Chains A and B, each alone.
Chain A
Amino acid sequence: MSLLTVKDLYKTFKIPQAEDIKVLQGISLDVDPGEFIAIMGPSGSGKSTLLNIIGSIEEYEDGLVSIDNLNLKITNPVETRRAKTSIIYQDFNLLPYLSALENVMIPFMLSGGNEILAREKAEILLERVGLKHRMNHLPDDLSGGEQQRVAIARAMINDPKILLADEPTGNLDSKTGSSIINLFKEIISEKNLSVILVTHDVGIAQKTDRILILREGQLFREEDVWEAI
């Protein structure tokens, strides 16, 4: 059974005194555990919106989104964000006044986790992403690639089922970007979690299991798009 089920998903942005923007128009998607998917598409096509809906950050009007058999429509979004999904952004979104270690500890502690345990887990994860030696540094003292590794470690601390990555390599050079994708792959094989990656970089996308294209509110398989073209 699929880990993530999206069925007939609709999302419209209502803008006062302007025409509504229909971003997602009946999208359906199934993601299995351990699957690595890339979503591509032009700017403004709704890629980030789709990711935010799956991550319980944005609401949707119609359709079904379920993770691990739980219907997001009737589930507390905070609990989903804590236990089921984690999201990584292009600009890392680390709290500037906290050290790398403290940033990684945050999600665990927000979920009611013990501080000592949070510290232990965070250290292990930072070691896993190769940054234990820099764990007491503030984000500003780290390079872009290092900050993104911290963000990945932070995303992993609550053992999510799905990792959502919104252009995680967008601010990184190609070598660092590749290393981040390799890190995703290693984590997938270790934890059997699913990764949904939004990217504009075809090279990066080709390293995933499946590429989907979001255009005009619809989601297409890559091969279908090529066929259409």
Chain B
Amino acid sequence: MDLTENIGGNYPKASRVRIKERIVYLKAAFVSIVRNKRRSSSMIAGLILGISILSGILLYSTVLMNNVYDTVIEGSPYEIRIDFRGNFDESQLEGFKNDFISNPKVLDAQLLYGNARTIVETTGTSTNMYTLANLEAEILVEYSNQTFSNAEGIFFSSTFLSSPDIGVRFKNKLLTSPDTGIYTNSSPYYHGVIISEDLAEQARIQQGNILKSISLSITQQDPENIFNRKTLSQNTLSNVTVAGIISSDVGASAGIFSEALMFGTSGSIYLPQELLESQNKTEFLTDLRMNEMRYAVIKIDEGKFNLADPQQVNSQINQLMNEIEKTNNIFIGTNLVEGQLLPFQILSIFIFIFDGILTVPVAILSLYLLSFGVDLSLHERKYQVGILKTQGASPKQIKRKVLTETFILAISGLIIGYLVAIFAAWGIGTAKGFMRWDWDYALSELPDFFYFDQIAFFVVGGLIFVILLLMVNGKANTFIEMEIT
């Protein structure tokens, strides 16, 4: 007799899997989960632990990033600065301004005096007023019978040093900074100058020397011919103390000493108000106006931009700026948000690294625990799987049963874990000290944490979910092969 030949007879065909059958599987899985409490609770606890820690880290980082974003990006002016090239009367400038405002992405525009190379702001009190002038200064130093032209320096007066804002800040942050190597006797009752290392070397000037006289002229680049410079004002100061010598490196980026850095210019110097007054301030400002130092600040409509993505905001603002520039070739635009992007990016990288350092070991540990849990769960099922096998369960049915149960546990673990993560991030984020909360503040902050973070949920939860199902699938296959077929 051929042992591989069928003798006859037939079997009922296996029923196709229908929706009803799936419902039966779900019901059976729920029954199995609820009634096998020990197994289910240990598995779901592992899931909740892994998901909550990982999601918590991401959630906390996201909130941290949002705070950084609020501080750095939202705090920056959503503005475009447009400098005009050429001579224009007020009516023309008003026309330009109205053109800017008519752009649907622009909220407002204002015409201001000066540009990046001229006066930016006036600050201080009425008695101690200083003008921050982004002008190039030409200094003539008379010392040891030598004269040096085109020598750059930073001037200050006794009143300047005692000024409550600029002067004190200048003195404290710069003159006494060990990094700059600048020294001052910090007496406010003298006129001083900080000169560059190059100049000091050439003139053999040392710190503390008193210069017989300094001739200061304020010049400006001729808008009509960039190779020409126009002298705006001139002054000579006598007996000026050399308060400090700036190293060449620092001198090369003298802009760091001024507010003007924020506007992307360099070589800025602070000028004492008295100096400007001695030159007749009104006349000086009129000179600036006469030299067409006008610019416009355009306030963009934030609602038209995707503020959630700083990079995108930046490129969108650049795009708008290009649009405006193209309307007239006399416009030169500057995106004021761009300068804020760098600190934001640095902080983003820091948070990203912080995430990585915390997330990787937790992820590895979670996966190890999950793998261990799946093994235990399958091992514990050995007896039940054996019974099901004898009662006519196919390997596919057993696998489906295991997977359905895991699926339900994973979904539950994902949701509970995510909720735990929200509360954990909230708890950590609002703590005022170790295990100390100001509940009014904490509760008011809760909605900020209680949001659906797609990255935290899908990347962490989804990833663990998929890994878990793949793991269970693989392990169940091996298990079923060994135990059933």
Which positions in A face B, CB cutoff 8 Å?
7, 55, 57, 62-64, 66, 68-71, 73-76, 78-83, 87, 93-95, 97-98, 102, 106-107, 109-115, 154, 158
Contacts and interface: CB of A to CB of B under 8 A. Distances in A.
B249 interface: no
B4 A64 contact: no
14 contacts: A57-B389, A66-B7, A70-B8, A74-B4, A78-B394, A78-B395, A81-B391, A81-B392, A95-B388, A97-B35, A106-B388, A110-B388, A110-B391, A114-B20
B3 A71 contact: yes
B388 A69 contact: no
Contact of A82 (B8, B32, B384, B392): B392
A75 B4 contact: no
Contacts of B3: 62-64, 71, 73
B397 A110 contact: yes
Contact of B21 (A80, A87, A112): A112
B17 to A, nearest CB: 9
B9 A68 contact: yes
A83 B152 CA distance: 102
Interface string B64-78: 000000000000000
B24 A109 contact: yes
B360 interface: no
Interface string B1-22: 1011111110110110000110
A110 B9 CA distance: 22
Nearest to A92: B387
B202 interface: no
Contacts of A75: 6, 11
Interface residues of B, number: 31
A94 B232 CA distance: 103
Given A93-B387, A158-B392, A71 B6 contact: yes
Interface residues of chain A: helix, strand, loop or mixed (majority) = mixed
B391 A69 contact: no
B400 to A, nearest CB: 11
Contacts of B393: 78, 110
Interface string B395-430: 101000000000000000000000000000000000
A93 B11 contact: no
Interface of B: 1, 3-9, 11-12, 14-15, 20-21, 24, 31-32, 35-36, 384, 386-395, 397
A67 to B, nearest CB: 9
Residue among A7, A70, A94, A158 facing the most chain B CB atoms (10 A cut-off): A70
B390 A81 contact: yes
Residue among B3, B24, B384, B392 facing the most chain A CB atoms (10 A cut-off): B392
Nearest to A157: B391
A93 B389 CA distance: 11
Query: Which 3 A-B pairs have CB atoms at the shortest separation, nearest pair first?
Result: A112-B15, A97-B35, A82-B392
Contacts of B31: 97-98, 102
Contacts of B387: 93-95
A28 to B, nearest CB: 12
A204 B395 CA distance: 36
A83 B7 contact: no
B9 A70 contact: yes
Nearest to A79: B11
Contacts of B9: 68-70
Nearest to B4: A74
A78 B4 contact: no
B35 to A, nearest CB: 4
A83 B4 CA distance: 20
B164 to A, nearest CB: 78
Contact of B392 (A64, A66, A69, A111): A111
B391 A79 contact: no
Nearest to B384: A95
A166 to B, nearest CB: 10
B5 A71 contact: yes
